[in-house]
Amino acid sequence: MSDFYSASRRGFLAAAVAAPAILRAQDAPARMKVAFIGVGNRGGYLLKQMFEVQGVDIIAICDIDPETLKKAVDAATEKGHKPQGYADYRKMIDQRKDIEAIVIATPVDTHIGPTIASLEAGKHVYCEKPMALSPAECTTILKATESAKGIYQAGFQLRHDPNRAASIKFLQSGGMGKMLYAQGYRHTGDLPRNEPWLFDRVRSGDNIVEQACHIIDLFVWAVGKAPLRAMGSGGINLYKNVPPGRTTMDNYSVIYEFPDDIRVTFSHIYFDPPAFSGIKERVYGSEGAIDLAQAKWVKLEQKGEIALEVPDAGQRGDLLSVKAFIENARAKKLPLNNAVSAKRSTLTAMMGRKAIYEKRIVTWEEMGG
Protein backbone atom coordinates (compact mmCIF):
# COMPACT_ATOMS: atom_id res chain seq x y z
CA MET A 1 0.00 0.00 0.00
CA SER A 2 1.50 3.35 -1.04
CA ASP A 3 2.20 6.11 1.47
CA PHE A 4 -0.07 8.40 -0.57
CA TYR A 5 -2.96 5.92 -0.44
CA SER A 6 -2.50 5.36 3.30
CA ALA A 7 -2.44 9.08 4.04
CA SER A 8 -5.51 9.66 1.86
CA ARG A 9 -7.40 6.85 3.53
CA ARG A 10 -6.56 8.15 7.01
CA GLY A 11 -7.67 11.61 5.97
CA PHE A 12 -10.96 10.27 4.58
CA LEU A 13 -11.70 8.32 7.76
CA ALA A 14 -10.88 11.32 9.95
CA ALA A 15 -13.17 13.51 7.85
CA ALA A 16 -15.95 10.90 8.03
CA VAL A 17 -15.73 10.85 11.81
CA ALA A 18 -15.63 14.64 12.08
CA ALA A 19 -18.42 15.29 9.55
CA PRO A 20 -21.40 14.73 11.89
CA ALA A 21 -19.89 17.07 14.48
CA ILE A 22 -19.20 19.71 11.83
CA LEU A 23 -22.75 19.43 10.51
CA ARG A 24 -24.18 19.71 14.03
CA ALA A 25 -22.09 22.83 14.62
CA GLN A 26 -23.33 24.30 11.32
CA ASP A 27 -26.94 23.47 12.15
CA ALA A 28 -26.78 24.90 15.68
CA PRO A 29 -28.16 28.47 15.79
CA ALA A 30 -25.95 31.26 17.09
CA ARG A 31 -26.32 31.87 20.80
CA MET A 32 -28.79 34.63 21.60
CA LYS A 33 -27.34 37.49 23.67
CA VAL A 34 -29.94 38.49 26.26
CA ALA A 35 -30.21 41.30 28.80
CA PHE A 36 -32.60 41.88 31.71
CA ILE A 37 -34.08 45.14 32.98
CA GLY A 38 -35.62 44.73 36.44
CA VAL A 39 -34.72 41.60 38.40
CA GLY A 40 -36.80 41.92 41.55
CA ASN A 41 -39.46 39.37 42.48
CA ARG A 42 -40.87 38.80 39.00
CA GLY A 43 -37.77 39.65 37.02
CA GLY A 44 -35.62 37.43 39.22
CA TYR A 45 -38.01 34.56 38.62
CA LEU A 46 -37.90 35.08 34.85
CA LEU A 47 -34.12 35.16 35.02
CA LYS A 48 -34.18 31.69 36.61
CA GLN A 49 -36.45 30.46 33.81
CA MET A 50 -34.03 31.82 31.22
CA PHE A 51 -31.22 29.78 32.79
CA GLU A 52 -33.04 26.70 31.47
CA VAL A 53 -33.32 27.93 27.88
CA GLN A 54 -30.70 26.47 25.56
CA GLY A 55 -28.54 28.68 23.35
CA VAL A 56 -28.75 31.82 25.48
CA ASP A 57 -25.99 34.02 26.89
CA ILE A 58 -27.08 36.52 29.53
CA ILE A 59 -24.63 39.36 28.97
CA ALA A 60 -26.15 42.30 30.88
CA ILE A 61 -28.47 42.87 33.83
CA CYS A 62 -29.93 46.19 34.98
CA ASP A 63 -31.64 47.11 38.24
CA ILE A 64 -31.74 50.34 40.24
CA ASP A 65 -31.32 48.48 43.53
CA PRO A 66 -27.64 47.54 44.07
CA GLU A 67 -28.41 44.56 46.29
CA THR A 68 -30.98 43.14 43.88
CA LEU A 69 -28.61 43.69 40.96
CA LYS A 70 -25.70 41.93 42.70
CA LYS A 71 -27.88 38.97 43.62
CA ALA A 72 -28.99 38.54 40.00
CA VAL A 73 -25.48 38.97 38.55
CA ASP A 74 -24.11 36.43 41.02
CA ALA A 75 -26.87 33.95 40.20
CA ALA A 76 -26.25 34.28 36.45
CA THR A 77 -22.50 33.98 36.92
CA GLU A 78 -22.96 30.76 38.89
CA LYS A 79 -24.84 29.37 35.88
CA GLY A 80 -21.94 30.08 33.56
CA HIS A 81 -23.04 33.44 32.18
CA LYS A 82 -20.91 36.59 32.22
CA PRO A 83 -23.34 39.47 32.76
CA GLN A 84 -22.27 43.06 33.18
CA GLY A 85 -24.29 44.97 35.79
CA TYR A 86 -25.97 48.32 35.17
CA ALA A 87 -28.06 50.75 37.21
CA ASP A 88 -29.30 52.67 34.14
CA TYR A 89 -30.97 50.80 31.28
CA ARG A 90 -30.24 53.62 28.83
CA LYS A 91 -26.53 53.30 29.51
CA MET A 92 -26.76 49.52 29.14
CA ILE A 93 -28.50 49.72 25.77
CA ASP A 94 -26.10 52.39 24.54
CA GLN A 95 -22.91 50.59 25.61
CA ARG A 96 -23.81 46.99 24.85
CA LYS A 97 -24.52 47.05 21.14
CA ASP A 98 -24.24 43.25 21.11
CA ILE A 99 -27.48 42.78 23.07
CA GLU A 100 -30.06 41.08 20.85
CA ALA A 101 -33.02 40.54 23.19
CA ILE A 102 -34.17 42.26 26.37
CA VAL A 103 -36.52 41.02 29.10
CA ILE A 104 -38.27 43.84 30.99
CA ALA A 105 -39.87 43.19 34.39
CA THR A 106 -40.11 46.59 36.04
CA PRO A 107 -43.17 48.13 37.81
CA VAL A 108 -46.06 48.89 35.48
CA ASP A 109 -45.56 52.66 35.46
CA THR A 110 -42.04 52.16 34.10
CA HIS A 111 -42.81 49.71 31.28
CA ILE A 112 -42.98 52.26 28.50
CA GLY A 113 -39.51 53.81 28.88
CA PRO A 114 -37.30 50.71 28.52
CA THR A 115 -39.74 49.13 26.04
CA ILE A 116 -39.58 52.03 23.60
CA ALA A 117 -35.82 52.46 24.08
CA SER A 118 -35.22 48.76 23.42
CA LEU A 119 -37.44 48.64 20.34
CA GLU A 120 -35.86 51.78 18.89
CA ALA A 121 -32.43 50.21 19.40
CA GLY A 122 -33.52 47.23 17.29
CA LYS A 123 -33.76 44.74 20.16
CA HIS A 124 -36.29 41.94 20.62
CA VAL A 125 -38.45 42.74 23.65
CA TYR A 126 -40.22 40.60 26.23
CA CYS A 127 -42.09 42.93 28.59
CA GLU A 128 -44.09 41.74 31.55
CA LYS A 129 -47.82 42.24 31.72
CA PRO A 130 -49.75 44.49 31.58
CA MET A 131 -48.60 46.22 28.42
CA ALA A 132 -48.45 49.68 30.01
CA LEU A 133 -50.12 52.00 32.52
CA SER A 134 -52.61 53.81 30.26
CA PRO A 135 -54.41 53.40 26.93
CA ALA A 136 -52.22 56.12 25.43
CA GLU A 137 -49.03 54.30 26.47
CA CYS A 138 -50.37 51.05 25.01
CA THR A 139 -50.97 52.81 21.70
CA THR A 140 -47.47 54.29 21.76
CA ILE A 141 -45.90 50.87 22.28
CA LEU A 142 -48.07 49.26 19.61
CA LYS A 143 -47.04 51.90 17.07
CA ALA A 144 -43.39 51.41 18.00
CA THR A 145 -43.63 47.67 17.34
CA GLU A 146 -44.99 48.29 13.83
CA SER A 147 -41.71 49.79 12.65
CA ALA A 148 -39.36 47.89 14.99
CA LYS A 149 -36.70 45.49 13.72
CA GLY A 150 -37.19 43.21 16.69
CA ILE A 151 -40.27 41.36 17.89
CA TYR A 152 -42.40 42.33 20.88
CA GLN A 153 -43.79 39.66 23.22
CA ALA A 154 -45.92 40.46 26.27
CA GLY A 155 -45.64 38.51 29.51
CA PHE A 156 -49.13 37.02 29.35
CA GLN A 157 -47.54 33.65 30.05
CA LEU A 158 -50.79 31.79 30.85
CA ARG A 159 -51.21 31.49 27.08
CA HIS A 160 -48.23 29.13 27.17
CA ASP A 161 -49.52 26.99 30.03
CA PRO A 162 -50.06 23.56 28.42
CA ASN A 163 -53.47 22.90 29.98
CA ARG A 164 -54.86 26.32 29.24
CA ALA A 165 -53.47 26.32 25.70
CA ALA A 166 -55.07 22.93 25.01
CA SER A 167 -58.38 24.14 26.48
CA ILE A 168 -58.48 27.28 24.34
CA LYS A 169 -57.63 25.28 21.22
CA PHE A 170 -60.48 22.88 22.04
CA LEU A 171 -62.89 25.80 22.53
CA GLN A 172 -61.89 27.61 19.37
CA SER A 173 -62.21 24.42 17.33
CA GLY A 174 -65.86 24.19 18.38
CA GLY A 175 -65.35 21.25 20.73
CA MET A 176 -68.03 22.56 23.09
CA GLY A 177 -70.26 24.15 20.50
CA LYS A 178 -70.89 27.88 20.79
CA MET A 179 -69.22 29.75 23.64
CA LEU A 180 -71.89 31.25 25.88
CA TYR A 181 -70.42 32.37 29.18
CA ALA A 182 -67.18 32.46 31.17
CA GLN A 183 -66.52 32.73 34.87
CA GLY A 184 -63.23 33.46 36.60
CA TYR A 185 -62.06 34.34 40.05
CA ARG A 186 -58.80 35.00 41.82
CA HIS A 187 -59.44 34.65 45.55
CA THR A 188 -56.22 34.64 47.53
CA GLY A 189 -54.33 36.26 50.38
CA ASP A 190 -52.95 39.77 50.02
CA LEU A 191 -49.97 40.76 47.89
CA PRO A 192 -46.40 40.93 49.29
CA ARG A 193 -46.23 43.87 51.68
CA ASN A 194 -42.57 44.47 50.84
CA GLU A 195 -43.54 45.81 47.39
CA PRO A 196 -45.11 49.25 48.11
CA TRP A 197 -45.77 50.06 44.44
CA LEU A 198 -48.21 47.15 44.19
CA PHE A 199 -50.53 48.97 46.61
CA ASP A 200 -50.36 52.31 44.79
CA ARG A 201 -52.94 52.31 42.03
CA VAL A 202 -51.28 55.29 40.36
CA ARG A 203 -48.16 53.14 39.81
CA SER A 204 -49.64 49.66 39.39
CA GLY A 205 -52.89 50.46 37.62
CA ASP A 206 -54.70 48.69 40.50
CA ASN A 207 -55.11 44.95 40.95
CA ILE A 208 -57.44 44.39 38.02
CA VAL A 209 -54.79 45.73 35.63
CA GLU A 210 -51.60 44.52 37.34
CA GLN A 211 -52.77 41.10 38.55
CA ALA A 212 -56.07 40.05 37.00
CA CYS A 213 -55.02 40.93 33.46
CA HIS A 214 -53.64 37.36 33.19
CA ILE A 215 -57.03 35.72 33.55
CA ILE A 216 -58.82 38.47 31.64
CA ASP A 217 -56.37 37.86 28.79
CA LEU A 218 -57.36 34.18 28.68
CA PHE A 219 -61.04 35.04 28.28
CA VAL A 220 -60.32 37.68 25.62
CA TRP A 221 -58.22 35.07 23.80
CA ALA A 222 -61.01 32.50 24.09
CA VAL A 223 -63.63 34.86 22.66
CA GLY A 224 -61.26 36.22 20.02
CA LYS A 225 -62.77 39.69 20.16
CA ALA A 226 -62.76 42.78 22.36
CA PRO A 227 -65.66 43.30 24.79
CA LEU A 228 -68.44 45.73 23.98
CA ARG A 229 -68.97 47.08 27.50
CA ALA A 230 -68.20 46.50 31.17
CA MET A 231 -69.81 47.13 34.55
CA GLY A 232 -68.53 46.45 38.04
CA SER A 233 -68.12 47.33 41.69
CA GLY A 234 -65.28 47.15 44.19
CA GLY A 235 -63.34 48.84 46.96
CA ILE A 236 -61.31 48.37 50.13
CA ASN A 237 -63.40 46.57 52.74
CA LEU A 238 -60.84 44.96 55.05
CA TYR A 239 -57.31 46.28 54.43
CA LYS A 240 -58.03 49.97 54.86
CA ASN A 241 -54.65 51.74 54.97
CA VAL A 242 -52.93 48.33 55.12
CA PRO A 243 -50.19 48.70 54.20
CA PRO A 244 -50.09 52.44 54.99
CA GLY A 245 -51.19 54.54 52.05
CA ARG A 246 -52.93 51.69 50.24
CA THR A 247 -55.11 52.82 47.34
CA THR A 248 -55.60 49.48 45.53
CA MET A 249 -58.79 47.50 46.02
CA ASP A 250 -58.95 44.40 48.18
CA ASN A 251 -62.09 43.12 46.42
CA TYR A 252 -64.09 43.77 43.27
CA SER A 253 -66.33 42.11 40.68
CA VAL A 254 -66.72 42.95 36.99
CA ILE A 255 -68.99 41.80 34.17
CA TYR A 256 -68.00 42.05 30.52
CA GLU A 257 -70.38 41.77 27.58
CA PHE A 258 -68.77 40.54 24.36
CA PRO A 259 -70.13 40.27 20.81
CA ASP A 260 -72.36 37.26 20.04
CA ASP A 261 -74.13 37.64 23.40
CA ILE A 262 -71.19 36.23 25.40
CA ARG A 263 -70.78 37.32 29.02
CA VAL A 264 -67.70 37.04 31.23
CA THR A 265 -67.76 37.55 34.99
CA PHE A 266 -64.67 37.95 37.15
CA SER A 267 -64.19 38.52 40.87
CA HIS A 268 -61.02 39.25 42.82
CA ILE A 269 -60.68 38.98 46.62
CA TYR A 270 -57.54 39.38 48.73
CA PHE A 271 -58.96 38.20 52.05
CA ASP A 272 -59.75 34.64 51.05
CA PRO A 273 -58.80 32.08 53.75
CA PRO A 274 -56.03 29.61 52.81
CA ALA A 275 -57.28 26.75 50.60
CA PHE A 276 -60.84 28.11 50.66
CA SER A 277 -61.45 29.32 47.10
CA GLY A 278 -58.33 29.83 45.02
CA ILE A 279 -58.19 30.60 41.31
CA LYS A 280 -60.59 29.37 38.62
CA GLU A 281 -61.18 29.94 34.92
CA ARG A 282 -64.23 28.24 33.45
CA VAL A 283 -65.99 28.52 30.11
CA TYR A 284 -69.52 27.33 29.33
CA GLY A 285 -70.63 26.37 25.84
CA SER A 286 -73.76 25.05 24.18
CA GLU A 287 -72.49 21.48 24.57
CA GLY A 288 -70.68 21.56 27.91
CA ALA A 289 -68.33 23.39 30.28
CA ILE A 290 -64.55 23.33 30.69
CA ASP A 291 -62.03 24.12 33.41
CA LEU A 292 -59.21 25.84 31.53
CA ALA A 293 -56.48 25.18 34.10
CA GLN A 294 -57.40 21.50 34.40
CA ALA A 295 -57.99 20.90 30.68
CA LYS A 296 -61.06 18.85 31.58
CA TRP A 297 -64.60 19.31 30.35
CA VAL A 298 -68.04 17.93 31.09
CA LYS A 299 -70.77 17.43 28.52
CA LEU A 300 -74.04 19.22 29.07
CA GLU A 301 -76.50 17.12 31.11
CA GLN A 302 -73.93 14.34 31.60
CA LYS A 303 -71.73 13.41 34.54
CA GLY A 304 -68.04 12.66 34.28
CA GLU A 305 -65.02 14.73 33.32
CA ILE A 306 -63.33 14.28 29.96
CA ALA A 307 -59.61 15.02 29.93
CA LEU A 308 -58.15 16.70 26.87
CA GLU A 309 -54.96 15.57 25.21
CA VAL A 310 -52.36 18.11 26.36
CA PRO A 311 -49.08 18.60 24.46
CA ASP A 312 -46.17 19.44 26.80
CA ALA A 313 -48.28 18.36 29.78
CA GLY A 314 -46.69 19.17 33.11
CA GLN A 315 -44.29 21.81 31.80
CA ARG A 316 -44.27 25.28 33.33
CA GLY A 317 -46.00 28.03 31.42
CA ASP A 318 -43.41 30.59 32.55
CA LEU A 319 -40.57 28.52 31.12
CA LEU A 320 -42.42 27.79 27.88
CA SER A 321 -43.17 31.50 27.55
CA VAL A 322 -39.51 32.60 27.68
CA LYS A 323 -38.54 29.67 25.45
CA ALA A 324 -41.11 30.85 22.93
CA PHE A 325 -39.67 34.37 23.15
CA ILE A 326 -36.19 33.17 22.20
CA GLU A 327 -37.59 30.99 19.39
CA ASN A 328 -39.73 33.86 18.10
CA ALA A 329 -36.76 36.22 18.26
CA ARG A 330 -34.57 33.81 16.26
CA ALA A 331 -37.22 33.35 13.58
CA LYS A 332 -38.59 36.91 13.84
CA LYS A 333 -41.98 35.28 14.26
CA LEU A 334 -45.09 37.03 15.52
CA PRO A 335 -45.64 35.85 19.13
CA LEU A 336 -48.89 34.37 20.36
CA ASN A 337 -48.97 37.14 22.97
CA ASN A 338 -48.03 39.98 20.63
CA ALA A 339 -48.54 43.75 20.81
CA VAL A 340 -52.03 43.69 19.29
CA SER A 341 -53.37 41.04 21.66
CA ALA A 342 -51.51 42.61 24.61
CA LYS A 343 -53.14 45.97 23.99
CA ARG A 344 -56.59 44.41 23.66
CA SER A 345 -56.29 42.49 26.94
CA THR A 346 -54.71 45.40 28.83
CA LEU A 347 -57.45 47.78 27.66
CA THR A 348 -60.08 45.22 28.69
CA ALA A 349 -58.69 45.23 32.23
CA MET A 350 -58.58 49.04 32.23
CA MET A 351 -62.15 49.10 30.95
CA GLY A 352 -63.29 47.07 33.95
CA ARG A 353 -61.35 49.32 36.30
CA LYS A 354 -62.96 52.43 34.83
CA ALA A 355 -66.42 50.89 35.24
CA ILE A 356 -65.68 50.08 38.90
CA TYR A 357 -64.20 53.48 39.72
CA GLU A 358 -66.93 55.48 37.98
CA LYS A 359 -69.81 53.16 38.95
CA ARG A 360 -71.25 53.05 35.45
CA ILE A 361 -71.26 51.04 32.22
CA VAL A 362 -68.14 51.74 30.17
CA THR A 363 -67.93 50.98 26.44
CA TRP A 364 -64.99 49.74 24.37
CA GLU A 365 -65.11 52.89 22.24
CA GLU A 366 -64.38 54.98 25.35
CA MET A 367 -61.12 53.10 25.81
CA GLY A 368 -59.93 53.98 22.30
CA GLY A 369 -59.73 50.30 21.45
- For residue 162, whether the previous peptide bond is cis, meaning omega lies within 30 degrees of 0, is no
- For residue 243, whether the previous peptide bond is cis, meaning omega lies within 30 degrees of 0, is yes
Parallel/antiparallel/unpaired status of strands 101-104 and 179-187 = unpaired
Model pLDDT, residue 10: 47
Model pLDDT, residue 6: 44
Distance, CA of 215 to CA of 347 (rounded, Å) = 13
pLDDT in tens, the chain (369 residues): 444 334 444 444 444 455 555 444 455 678 999 999 999 999 999 999 999 999 999 999 999 999 999 999 999 999 999 999 999 999 999 999 999 999 999 999 999 999 999 999 999 999 999 999 999 999 999 999 999 999 999 999 999 999 999 999 999 999 999 999 999 999 999 999 999 999 999 999 999 999 999 999 999 999 999 999 999 999 999 999 999 999 999 999 999 999 999 999 999 999 999 999 999 999 999 999 999 999 999 999 999 999 999 999 999 999 999 999 999 999 999 999 999 999 999 999 999 999 999 999 999 999 987
Q: Which pTM was predicted? A: 0.91
Model pLDDT, residue 368: 87
Number of residues assigned to the chain: 369
> Cα–Cα–Cα angle for 216, 219, 222, nearest 5°?
150
On the CB side of 172, CA atoms within 13 Å amount to 14
Model pLDDT, residue 36: 98
Model pLDDT, residue 30: 87
